[in-house]
Structure 1
Amino acid sequence: MTIGIDQINFYIPQFYVDMADLAEARGVDPNKFLYGIGQTEMAVSPVSQDIVSMGANAAKDIITEDDKQSISMVIVATESAIDSAKASAVQIHNLLGIQPFARCIEMKEACYAATPAIQLAQDYLHQRPDEKVLVIASDTARYGLESGGEPTQGAGAVAMLISHKPRILELNDDAVPFTEDVYDFWRPNGHMYPLVAGKLSKDAYIHSFQESWKEYAKRYNKSLDDFANLCFHVPFTKMGKKALDSILTDEISDETKKRLTEGYEAATYYNRYVGNIYTGSLYLSLISLLETHNLEGGQTIGLFSYGSGSVGEFFTGKLVEGYQDVLDITSHKNLLNERKALTVNEYESFFKRFDNLEFDHETELAHTIPGAFYLENINDHIRSYNTLK
């Protein structure tokens, strides 16, 4: 019995700011952003795109009417929750028109939560051969204007349909999680922006990867030679590269080093132009690898998920023959290429409106794709969504 990712898609807002422009506005050498952290552009979210609308937009093009009848659970992973009680999965379930006899929940553990959501879906489906689970990772990464974390912001969502006989990636039953209580990044109740211990966060990420990888290799008697490529959680593209480099020791062959390094560059191409999307970052990287790199069915991909606080996990999947036919590379490239570039002043206006929940539909919807869901208004703390005609 094989269970895994049958469909995968991402959605990002239709606005971005160029990192070189942001660097110059902040009095920073542009190379610090372009090469130091490895980011070229950063997605900017308007008020009209929150975790619900972005999540629904990521999912709407990959689920058929038959899927809507087969989906019996919707899980949203996020650290950008819009309600402390009601799960955003309930609203997404409604927008997508999924059959009513379904479980809908929201999961939280920083950037890691989409991974246990997938593991839960995998376990759940073992006893349900005719059902499917929709997993959505949706977030807006925000640290504040002129803050240390500003260049590692972003926004977007990734949707994955988990099913039997998947057409993209068969999940192996070999996940190795690693938990350690660390205050490297956290957002106490009532705080608009997270608190970050920058160096500790980088060290905790790398330590979590090393420990989960080392335990995985020991438990399953595996080496890096067994993997076509590795994918990482990507808060910024240089972060995962540091983790990868930490295990490319002298005893690793040059061929393996070259293969994994080239694969990493392919796996972070989309992330470089989107920025940090928290729970979706690993899975945006997976899409990037599948769509920009030459791989074959039957090859094994290793994935490292990380959420500050902290929980990491190393797990693997096997590519399905013909997986390329299921991808929508053209739509994804169009989504990236047809965005509107914002000046730094415009970006700051967007940022402030988002914080204050001040709608400007004339500006924001002018560059939104027709057919997309968007947040129309908030009245008495109730959010109402619509579809752009």
Structure 2
Amino acid sequence: MTIGIDKIGFYTPHLYVDMNDLAEARDVDPGKFTIGIGQEKMAVAPLTQDPVTLAANAAWEIIDDQDRDAIDFVIFATESGIDHSKSAAIYVHQLLGLKSGARCIEVKQACYGATAAIQMAKGHVALHPESKVLVLGSDIARYGLNTGGEVTQGAGAVALLIGQDPRIMTLEEPSVYATEDIMDFWRPVYSEMAFVDGKFSNEQYLAFFNRVWEQYKSESGLALKDFAAICFHLPYTKMGLKALRTILDEGDEAVQERLKANFQMSQHYNRNVGNIYTGSLYLSLLSLLELQDELKAGDRIGLYSYGSGAVGEFFSGILQPDYKQHLHVQDHKAMLNSREALTVAEYEDIFKSTLPTDGTTVELDVEQDPAPIVLASLADHKRQYLSR
């Protein structure tokens, strides 16, 4: 039995700020953001979008009635949770109309969470071959206005349906991983903003990549030449390129050119959405699959996942026949092209706007949000969602 990605969906809010405009407002050379960091646009979430709605919207486009009957496990990976107790997966379960006979949990380990969820899903499907697992990676990255991390913010979600005989990509063994207790990025429970030691985090990202890559080669017997592409967790797109460059000399010129060209395809969506934490690696994979027409069935794609704190993992997948027919290329193109540009002042106003934390009732203006699923109101400390 083969297990892997049967469907994949993606959602990002309808608002963004252009990095050239942000650079001008921050009195920074635009090239520092667009070239040095590698970001063009940053998705901005209005109050009507939170991690639950982002995930539900991402899953909405891929789930059909047959899936609703088969899904018996929903795993929601996030580091932007809305409740210390209740799983965000339960809200999505209800919004999607999934059957009651399902497990719903939330998992957390910085940006690595969705990869942990996928590996957990593989084990579940191995034990229950007729089941499907819905994995959600959904986050809103916030570092604060006028901070070093501001340019690496973003918002969005990726939904993956994991099952047997997948139509997009089978997931291979081995999967190699490593953990070390470090403080490169963290967000205490009392803080709305994350803290990051940027230089240290970059160093650890690269160190973990090289550690798991070497171990992966040893355990798998594979080499750089065996990969059509390698996708990376992209807190910003230049970070993945730095990691790729550390191993390029292991391949000949043709291999190097192939991997560099495919990396450029894999970073396009991230470059125009920003950092979505748990979903970033899989947004990169989606960008590659939807934009690169030269990939073919049987191609091996490497996947590097990193979550600060820190856990790193490297694994791979094999593209399936006609995989492209099961993607939503035009829908995603239309979604990205229809977004509205904000001025920096408008972006700052949205960033500063917050939901009440004292139980105050508030009705949100959902008419300004074109998403199928929105956060409509808060009352008695409860969030009320609307599926249109």
TM-score (normalizing by structure 2): 0.97
- Residue 229 of structure 2 corresponds to 229
Measured after TM superposition, the shift of residue 360 of structure 1 is 8.0
- Residue 352 of structure 1 corresponds to 352
* Aligned mates of 1:277, 1:261 — CA distance in 2: 23
SS in 2 for 1:306: strand
* Aligned mates of 1:229, 1:55 — CA distance in 2: 27
- Residue 308 of structure 2 corresponds to 308
- Residue 336 of structure 1 corresponds to 336
- Cα deviation, 1:167-225, whole Å, max 9, x if unaligned, reads 00001121100111110000112011111101000000000100000100011111100
* Aligned mates of 1:107, 1:120 — CA distance in 2: 10
2:23–2:30 CA contact under 8 A, matched in 1 = yes
SS in 2 for 1:202: helix
- Residue 325 of structure 1 corresponds to 325
* Aligned mates of 2:299, 2:141 — CA distance in 1: 33
Measured after TM superposition, the shift of residue 365 of structure 1 is 3.6
Aligned 1:30-109 pairs, distance under 5 A: 30-109=30-109
Letter of the structure 2 residue corresponding to residue 160 of structure 1? L
- Residue 280 of structure 2 corresponds to 281
* Aligned mates of 2:100, 2:144 — CA distance in 1: 39
- Residue 370 of structure 2 corresponds to 368
Measured after TM superposition, the shift of residue 379 of structure 1 is 1.1
Percent sequence identity is 51
Measured after TM superposition, the shift of residue 332 of structure 1 is 0.3
* Aligned mates of 1:68, 1:277 — CA distance in 2: 26
Which of 275-284 and 169-178 deviates more?
A: 169-178
| 2:269 is aligned with 1:255 | no
* Aligned mates of 1:68, 1:254 — CA distance in 2: 47
Change (3 A) 1:374 1:208: same
Measured after TM superposition, the shift of residue 353 of structure 1 is 1.0
| 2:37 is aligned with 1:2 | no
1:229–1:260 CA contact under 8 A, matched in 2 = yes
Aligned 1:150-299 pairs, distance under 5 A: 150-249=150-249, 251-293=250-292, 294-299=294-299
| 2:22 is aligned with 1:22 | yes
* Aligned mates of 1:158, 1:220 — CA distance in 2: 28
* Aligned mates of 1:61, 1:28 — CA distance in 2: 39
1:46–1:354 CA contact under 8 A, matched in 2 = no
- The size of the alignment, in residue pairs, is 384
Change (3 A) 1:300 1:203: same
Change (3 A) 1:79 1:102: same
- Cα deviation, 1:249-275, whole Å, max 9, x if unaligned, reads 2x5211111010001000000110000
SS in 2 for 1:163: strand
SS in 2 for 1:9: strand
SS in 2 for 1:210: helix
Letter of the structure 2 residue corresponding to residue 162 of structure 1? I
SS in 1 for 2:8: strand
**Ranges of 4+ aligned residues in structure 1 off by more than 2 Å:** 354-362, 364-367
SS in 2 for 1:385: strand
